[in-house]
Structure 1
C-alpha cells in the first residue's frame, strides 16, 4: 500500500496489510530500516534498535528482530491503525534526521552544492541520489554521481561522519573489480576547525574536500 508520505530524500513510505486470521497485520517488511542502512546509519545496532523501539512504542507498533515494523489489529480497526502506523514510520524518519545532524539542513546544503558542482564541471553529467551496493548486500544512497565519482555532502558533525564511514566501509569493500571513486564535500564555512577534524577521519577512506575549496574552484574556473 502506497502512502503520500516519504523520507527526507523522497523515498516513499510503504506498508503492507497481511491477513493473519482472525487479525490483520500492518507491516513494512523492514523497508524503513533498510532505508536507514542505505543512508549510512546502522539501525541493526542493539542500542539503536532500542532507541527506535522507544520512538514507535507510543503508536502501538512493534519493531521485530528482522527489522520490520509491525502492528496487529482487527480488520475493522484498520482505519484507525493505519495512520498510527504511518506516524511510527515518520517517527523513524525523525530519528534518522537527528542522527544525521539535521536532515533539513543537510538537504538544503546538498541542493546548494549541486549548483556549485554544475558550475564547476558544466559539461559533466550529474545524477542525483545514485545507489551503490555494499558488501553487506544493502544498497547505499549517495547525494550525487558526477562522471564516475560518487559524491556525498555533509555538515561537520560526528554523527554525520560516523554514518558516512559505515557506508564507505560497506561500499568500498564490496569486492567489485574496482572500488568506486568517492568524494565527500564537508561544509567548513561556519566551523573550519570541526570540519578539518571530520575531513581527517574521512580522508582515510575517501577524498575529502572542504566546501570552501569547491567555491574557490567555481570562482576561478579551475577543474
Structure 2
C-alpha cells in the first residue's frame, strides 16, 4: 500500500545521529536555490523536543558570499524566523523548542521558517543580500534628518502570542523597522507588527517602517499599503530627501 512507501515517495527520511537515538537528521525534499538541502535536525531532551539547523543556514549563506558577522547582518534571518516562534540563538542556530506533545506544531513552524528563508533567497537573486547596508543607510539619514534625536538599537517587544520581536532602531523612543520589498520580508513584517499591536501593553506603541523603494517604487508603494494599517510607512527616497542626502547608488 502507498502508506508503507510514503516516506520514500515524498522524500522524508530520518537518520539517527546518536547511539541512544535522541538526536537525528531528517532528510526532506526541500532545497535552497543552489540545490543544497535544507537542514532539519531533531533532538529530544526529557519531555522537550528541539528542531534546529545546527548552524547550517548561516553556513549556506556564507558559502554564497553573504557576510554574516554580527546581529546586523543576520537580522534578515531573525525577521523571517521570529514570526514563526523560531529563534536564532547565540551559536548561530535556528531553533524551536516545544513539549513532546506539541512537536508537530513546532515542526510545522520550523519548516515554515526554512521555506521562508528559501523564498527570500530566490527573491534576492541578482540583488545585494547585505541587509545591514540598508540599515546603515537608514540610520545615517535619520541622523541627518533629526540631528538632535536619540537614535539607538531597537528594543524588544512581546506580541499577544507571547513571541518576542526585536525592532531595528529606536528614534526618540519610536520603534523603527527597515525592510525591502520582497514578499517574504513584507509578509513577516506584517505578521510581526500585527502580533505586537494586538498586545495591550503595546497599545500606544508608534512604529515607523522604512521601505527601500529605490529599485521598484511601484512595488514598494503597493507593499506599503499592506503595512499602513499597523504602522507609519516612509519610503527611503522620501527619507533621503528629508535628510537632504544625495541618493545612494
- Shorter chain as normaliser: what TM range? 0.5 to 0.7
**Is 2:37 the partner of 1:68?**
no
Aligned partner of 2:54 among 82, 85, 95 = 85
Q: Are 2:198 and 1:173 aligned?
A: yes
In the TM superposition, residue 88 of structure 1 has moved relative to its aligned partner by 6.2
Query: Size of the alignment, in residue pairs?
Result: 162
Compared CA separation, residues 196 and 89, structure 1 to 2 (3 A): closer
Structure 2: unaligned runs, 5 residues or longer:
1-17, 32-36, 61-92, 95-112
Shift of 1:67: 6.9
SS, match of residue 196 in structure 1: helix
Match of 2:149 in 1: 124
Matching of residues 27-38 of structure 1 within 5 Å: none
Q: Find the partner of 2:211 among 175, 186, 189.
A: 186
CA contact (8 A) 1:132 1:139 kept: yes
**Is contact 2:168–2:176 with CA below 8 Å preserved after alignment?**
yes
SS in 2 for 1:124: coil
- Return the offset for 1:163: 0.3
Question: C-alpha separation between the residues in 2 aligned to 1:218 and 1:192?
Answer: 19
1:56 correspondence with 2:25: no
Give 1:169 shift.
0.6
TM-score in terms of structure 1 length = 0.60
After superposition, what is the alpha-carbon deviation per residue over 1:151-186, rounded to whole angstroms, capped at 9, x for unaligned? 111111211110000000110011116331001011
CA 1:22–1:56 in 2, change beyond 3 Å: closer, same or farther?
A: closer
The root-mean-square deviation of aligned C-alpha atoms, in Å, is 3.6
* Aligned residue in 2 for 1:46: none
Q: 1:110-140 deviations in whole A, cap 9, x for unaligned?
A: 1111111111111111122321111111110
* Corresponding residue to 1:106 among 112, 127, 131: 131
Aligned partners of 1:173 and 1:50: how far apart in 2? Answer: 36
Q: 2: CA distance between counterparts of 1:212 and 1:157?
A: 17
Q: Is the 8 A contact 1:99 1:160 kept in 2?
A: no
Secondary structure class of the residue paired with 1:85: coil
- Does 1 or 2 have the higher relative contact order (CA < 8 Å, sep 6+)? 1
TM superposition score normalised by structure 2: 0.54
What secondary structure sits across from 2:229 in the alignment?
coil
1:56, 1:62 within 8 Å by CA — same for their partners in 2? Answer: no
